[in-house]
Amino acid sequence: MGSAQDIMQTFTDKEIRARFSPFDGWECQRAPSPATRDTIFLLTRDVRGKKETVALAVSFDEEPSVTALAGIAAGHTGRHALKGQYLLVPKDANVSSVPGHIRILPMSAFGFSDGELIWLTKKKGVKHYAQTEMPAKAVAASTACEPHAA
């Protein structure tokens, strides 16, 4: 049997692959995270001979912190600057303190209900998660056709 962290990582990997598909050329590598619980990934691909890199932080906290993402972005400046910064969070996470340049990607597998992180399943007989309106910033980020469009 795996731990809860292993199962959560499996769902996280699925979410990342769905948004940054290897078929579109995206390669995903885990980046060293500066003293935080959040996992950081650097995603790269070649577009017409130019390398495109984005940073993605994964947080399971109700109020995610973007300090790790800011640390990664600080190391990519000049010609090697990041093309985008993303934060993958459970549905209904409080993202009001997240800066506007960071795009919010809500998870489809996890969400918060009454302050607790729950697994959003489609099985019969379970308590269904009530969908609420996402903040305007999150809606705008999630409606973009291409994750790399900025």
Phi-psi region at 4: left, alpha or beta (left = phi > 0; alpha = psi -120 to 50): alpha
105 lies in a domain? Answer: yes
149 lies in a domain? Answer: no
Sign of the alpha-carbon torsion through 15, 129, 37, 78: positive
147 lies in a domain? Answer: no
User: d(Cα 137, Cα 106) in Å, to the nearest integer?
Assistant: 12
User: d(Cα 44, Cα 140) in Å, to the nearest integer?
Assistant: 23
User: d(Cα 148, Cα 21) in Å, to the nearest integer?
Assistant: 12
User: d(Cα 146, Cα 47) in Å, to the nearest integer?
Assistant: 13
Residues 40-79 pLDDT 10s: 899 999 988 889 999 999 998 889 888 888 888 887 877 7
- Chain-centroid distance of CA 8 in Å reads 13
Residues 13-39 pLDDT 10s: 999 999 999 999 999 999 877 656 778
103 lies in a domain? Answer: yes
Please state the pTM of the whole predicted model.
Answer: 0.74
Domain count, the chain: 1
| Domain span holding position 118 | 4-142
49 lies in a domain? Answer: yes
Higher pLDDT, 82 or 122: 82
148 lies in a domain? Answer: no
Higher pLDDT, 128 or 21: 21
104 lies in a domain? Answer: yes
86 lies in a domain? Answer: yes
